[in-house]
Structure 1
Amino acid sequence: MPTDSVFLLGESREHPMHVGGLQLYEPPAGTGREFVREFYDQLVAQQELQPTFRKRPAAFLGTLASLSWVYDKDVDIDYHVRRSALPSPGRVRDLLGLTSLLHSSLLDRHRPLWEVHVIEGLNDGRFAVYTKLHHALIDGVSALRLMQRAMSTDPDDLEVRAPWNLPKRTHKPPQSSRWGSLMRGVESVAALAPSTVSLARAALFEQQLTLPFGAPRTMLNVKIGGARRCAAQSWSVERIRNVKRAAGVTLNDVVLAMCSGALRYYLLEQDALPETPLHAMVPVSLRTEEEADAGGNLVGAILCNLATDTEDPGKRLEIVSESMYKNKTVFSQLPRIQALALSMVNMSSLALAAVPGWVNSTAPPFNLIISNVPGPQEQMYYGGARLDGSYPLSAILDGQALNITLVSNNGMLDFGLVGCRRSVPHLQRLLAHLESSLKDLERAVGV
């Protein structure tokens, strides 16, 4: 897919293009300190890998290409799957500090583009698994489904299944030459051009869509460094569902309004709130159920008016809901190839941000990405260990210094925040502001 190539072409030291996830587990009752070691040993013992996990950029004319792939026959599993321990006192804060460092580093393009880190040493006895995969390899929805397939709803199921060893349902690796693979990549990008131009023109004239490059410039829309800071917290789905019912909107509308209020609090605190509303890019999956494990990227992108210029939280929720309804209505009427083309317009900053001076001289296409990924609705276990939290950690871009992604998980919404360490000070304060914003919405709708 053309979006796969964009994620490779847009990567640099300042812009790692991987997606990640931090999962917290409670070991089974009665197990000792050896549980995590045995868990890790069972993972690395599984050295048969599915094609997605053997895939790396091809070497073409002596250099690594970004539009074609090769598949490694021999993968060094000990490099890709690592075991770490936290320093004392082993707080969640220490775990997030280590995760921030791991999330800042580039994946090695000379190897398949993924890593798994099993992390022990939390003072409450839990352990964590941090996973990262290149966004060109797989999108967040597919990655989450793979992890979910490795787990079980049965606490007595002690088998540790490796995501890289799960059988695929439909996808087969291409058998053609590197040259043919490269040419198809170039042609697929070029083929979108007429459709993209046509859709952009229609949107401009009909004014049906929230358009890119109409967002205000904020402290979040600057050139970024390579260091990341991560933050994570969970909220009850029931609290958010109560607001949804009372207001007559969707659950995702409430989530977006919750983020909007938190961003308003944060920017006011930094004396950096613009007079016009922030816009969020909201990814939407274009996959059918049959394509769930196909790898690659089938993700669309629509834009939402966050109404951060509106003080009243109830009114802000109304504006967010109306914006999402109008944009989704237009988007849903497009054939998938045209939906992808429109998404390429909305995500054009991936390519344009690399142009010298572009970020500083143009309005941002949007201010940040807010993504809500469906997750398991039941309590999940991994090798008998109970899943306590599943926090998605995505990529940030030049001109896009903050990303908010959340996953539903057994009655909770697990939020993962990623910010540029230099450009987004005190990222963890956004967690308190998210709670304040949700309380504002609860008061506004009377729940």
Structure 2
Amino acid sequence: MPQLSALDAQFLHFETATNVANIAGLAVLDGDLNRADLQGLLERRLPYVPALRRKLAPVPFGLDHPYWVQEDDLDLDYHVREIGLPPPGDDRQLSEQVSRLHPRRLDRGRPLWEIYLIHGLPAGRMGLYTKIHHAAVDGIGGADVLAALLDTSPTPAPPPPSAPERDEPPPGGPEMLARGLARMAVNPAHAVRFAARAIPHLDEIPVVSWLPGAGLVSGLARKLAGTGQAPELPTPPAPKTPFSGPVSQHRRFAFVSLPLEEIKRVRKAFGVTVNDVVMAVCAGALRRWLAAHGGVPRQPLVAGVPFSLREAGGEGRGNQVSIMTAPLAVHLDDPVARLNEVRYATQRIKDRFSLAPARWLREFSESMPAALMGLASRSAFGLVGQTAPPINVIISNVPGPQFPLYVCGARLLNHYPVSVITDVSGGVNITAFSYDGSVDIGVITDREMIPDAWELTGHLRAALDELLGAEARLPH
């Protein structure tokens, strides 16, 4: 009888015609996959993948967060679709299809996912686009769902020997209402507890952290609580850019693969992490784009960096994610200086996160009455997006397996993430996924703000080349 958490429900509530909470992946396979074979694989595997076999069961009058109910009559003809690219079937045509598919909202009367087989790529390849709602999984959970459908050899593995677990049915309407009313009664207490816990962490919360005295109040609260000093997080307000503000209904998607070996070469030469290099490459690419479209701001951009709250080895359901903000030094011309600034900023976040994980997003969601959450979420997104968006860009780096994977015998060549943009986070999201020796990067943009996402992916390659050139000039 699983129920959506408050944070899971937030991803349902903030959706509008322009803000859509789909997360996805574009797999490029070596081989022309057969739809019937894929449906057969899903039929065998889906009983063991809870996130793909559940649909929403709303609570009457919206008095509480919805429940998940198991769908026993899953219509794979609906969920698994196929399309063909017209000749020549190149990567740009593939990205155009994804650009059209990604912002389409999922049917909330069915399990919240769709898969598209995309035929017509040259050199014997095909695309496999998998879309799932953010209310069902976060980025790490989405990777786990994908992994459940993949194999480590061309021969699909048999189903697990144990029978799949079944969810208990959700409560009936009267019990849902009773539980919802009970939750409403305790919400004020949740709000008080959230306020008390939030005071030592005001400087972590976007927008709130920029209010006069927020850092001083947080530091004093930590001192009184005996938690000691914590690294400061001085993130400036986000500068205005061509990709700031409310997004439209339309998206652009592009992708690029960078050799993991080259990124590790830069990492080793400058004593940083792979994530630092990825962030610095994104900073360099955005600087190049801004220089060609209105000018580079004189201050850093503000990047939203998602963090997983999952403990090592922990599974957990739903969204277990928070977001921290970090300065992204696009204003610096020297690529090594940008890398060093990224290293400094990310280290401060890690030091702060190790002391007290940033759970404010989840706790804030839990403090709000479910009946008001939808209106509050949409109103807040509209207001912040129109006035002072706290973030310029979302950048995420998800580690993946470093060995080949297969779908129905077809080898997975690359897997490009396709993520979310909103009025609050800005019109650009850059998400990287490392797999089998490469870092596969998906760039999603708002079509009105950045009509050509491929321009940005080209700048990503150029930014890495800049860092490799700096590495080559070091004394060896």
In the TM superposition, residue 305 of structure 1 has moved relative to its aligned partner by 1.3
Secondary structure of 1:405 counterpart: strand
CA 1:114 to 1:137, structure 2 compared with 1: closer, same or farther past 3 Å?
A: same
| 1:187-231 deviation digits (Å, cap 9, x = unpaired) | 687453432344106871248343667221211111111111110
Counterpart contact for 2:235–2:326, Cα < 8 Å? no
Residues 1:220 and 1:167: Cα distance change in structure 2 (over 3 Å): farther
Between 1:261-270 and 1:190-199, the stretch displaced more is 190-199
Deviation, structure 1 residue 48: 5.4
1:324 equivalenced with 2:346 (yes/no): yes
Question: Which residue does the alignment assign to 1:30?
Answer: none
- Greater CA drift, 271-280 or 258-267: 271-280
Please give the secondary structure, in 1, of the residue aligned with 2:294.
Answer: coil
TM-score, with normalisation over the residues of structure 2? 0.81
Q: How far apart in 2 are the matches of 1:291 and 1:3? A: 18
Aligned-CA RMSD value: 3.2
1:218 aligns with 2:216: no
| 1:102-125 alpha-carbon deviations (Å, 9 max, x no partner) | 102011112221111122121222
Out of 17, 28, 37, the residue aligned to residue 13 of structure 1 is: 17
Match of 1:300 in 2: 322
Residue pair 2:324, 2:358 contacting (<8 A) in 1 also: no
Instruction: Tell me if structure 1 keeps the 8 A contact 2:323–2:358.
Output: no
Whole-Å separation in 1 of the counterparts to 2:428 and 2:310: 26
| Offset, 1:365 | 1.4
Q: CA deviation at 1:262?
A: 0.3
In structure 2, which of residues 432, 452, 465 is the aligned counterpart of residue 439 of structure 1?
465
Shift of 1:39: 2.7
Structure 1 residues 250 and 168: alpha-carbon distance in aligned structure 2, compared to 1, 3 A threshold: farther
Matches within 5 A, 1:415-426: 415-426=441-452
TM-score, structure 1 length as denominator? 0.86
Q: Does the 8 Å CA contact 1:104/1:226 hold for their aligned counterparts? A: yes
State the shift of 1:446 in Å.
2.9
| Compared CA separation, residues 307 and 383, structure 1 to 2 (3 A) | same
Q: Does 2:121 match 1:122?
A: yes
* Bigger radius of gyration: 2
Which has the higher mean CA deviation after the structures are superposed, 140-149 or 246-255?
A: 140-149
Aligned to 1:282: 305
CA distance in 2, matches of 1:257, 1:433: 12
Q: Which moved more, 1:74-83 or 1:187-196?
A: 187-196
Q: How many residues align?
A: 430
Cα distance in structure 1, aligned partners of 2:273 and 2:363: 26
Identify unmatched segments of 5+ residues in structure 1.
28-32
* Deviation of the 1:41 alpha carbon: 4.1
Q: Cα offset for 1:272?
A: 3.5
Shift of 1:42: 2.0
Q: Percent identity?
A: 33
Which of 371, 393, 396 is the aligned partner of 1:371? 396
Mapped partners of 2:12, 2:63: distance in 1? 9
Query: What stretches of structure 2 of length at least 5 have no aligned partner?
Result: 205-213, 220-229, 368-375
Q: Is the 8 A contact 1:4 1:135 kept in 2?
A: yes
Shift in alpha-carbon separation, 1:167–1:82, aligned structure 2, 3 A: farther
Instruction: Find out whether 1:204 has 2:182 as its counterpart.
Output: no
Deviations along 1:132-153, one digit per CA (max 9) or x if unpaired, are 1110110111111221232222
Match of 1:17, as an amino acid? A
